[in-house]
Amino acid sequence: MSIFTGSAVAIITPFKNGGEVDYESFANIIEFQIANKTDAIVVCGTTGEASCLSHEEHLDVIGFCVKQVAGRVPVIAGTGSNCTETAIYLTKEADALGADAMLVVTPYYNKATQNGLVAHFTAVAGATKKPIILYNVPSRTGCKMTPATIATLYKTVDNIVAVKEATGDISVATEIAALTDGKMDIYSGNDDMIVPILSIGGKGVISVLSHVIPYEVHEMVASYLRGETDKARDLQVKYFRLAKDLFLEVNPIPVKAATCMMGQCDGSVRMPLSIMEPQNQAILRAEMERMGVLK
């Protein structure tokens, strides 16, 4: 049984000007996503600026999200760390708070050998009976999990059931599918590769683009799975530029700017991130206007 099929939003953590978490805006963003058919919420991931949250804030944000969602869609908590003991701690606490599953990124900065990654993820998965989604994003972490390592973890650890594949290389996703006989759930970690991932048996996407057009991203996946592949392809192509413009600067700077333009939060980010450069804001705004997101 898949954790979810469709589109999950990698949700932002909105902040107030003073830097504290803006829970009122957070609740409204969650409601906007659910109302527009988002199939799951991923909280405290990269887009949620988890690495700039204290452990207390991290867990408070997860707990708030779980309560706000109230079982309407799965809540997947980001509990990864470059420290195995910290990842175990966050995973246990997120489990106790009621998260439905965990998203665990490869250890950043420290990095690890492939054997080290097997040991790390096996230890973290042992801290919970909830399902685990591996998160492979070497462009952010400097640490790449090979398809063989991912397959080993899938075959040897019962609750490692899925991978968020964000290398940007379709051959990596295809090799994972081949090595796991198509049984491991694969989610695209890149909004420009949703349909390609679906074409090799993927279950959906963990999306940044969904902040801006949640219904359309949901429908891209749903239409493909209904057999309406032409519609899914057309949506992928239509929103290609918007997906790219949400990465004009390092994520989540542009999506924070976009949600600010939509009136959902004030766009604040935590240092070392900074507000989106004016010239890039203009490019993003123009594309959002062209796509009818902003009137």
Establish whether 239 is a catalytic residue. no
Q: Residue 168, Cβ neighbours under 10 Å: how many?
A: 15
Give CA–CA dist 127/120, Å, rounded.
11
Name the helix (H) or strand (E) containing 76.
strand 75-78
The single residue of 130, 154, 164, 187 carrying the catalytic annotation is: 164
* Catalytic residue, candidates 130, 135, 154, 203: 135
Q: Is 130 a catalytic residue?
A: no
CA distance 184 to 163: 8
Judged by DSSP in three states, 253 sits in helix
| Cβ proximity of 276 and 246 under 8 Å | no
The answer to whether 41 and 65 are in contact (CB under 8 A) is: yes
In angstroms, how far is the first alpha carbon of the chain from the final one?
41
Active-site annotation, residues: 135, 164
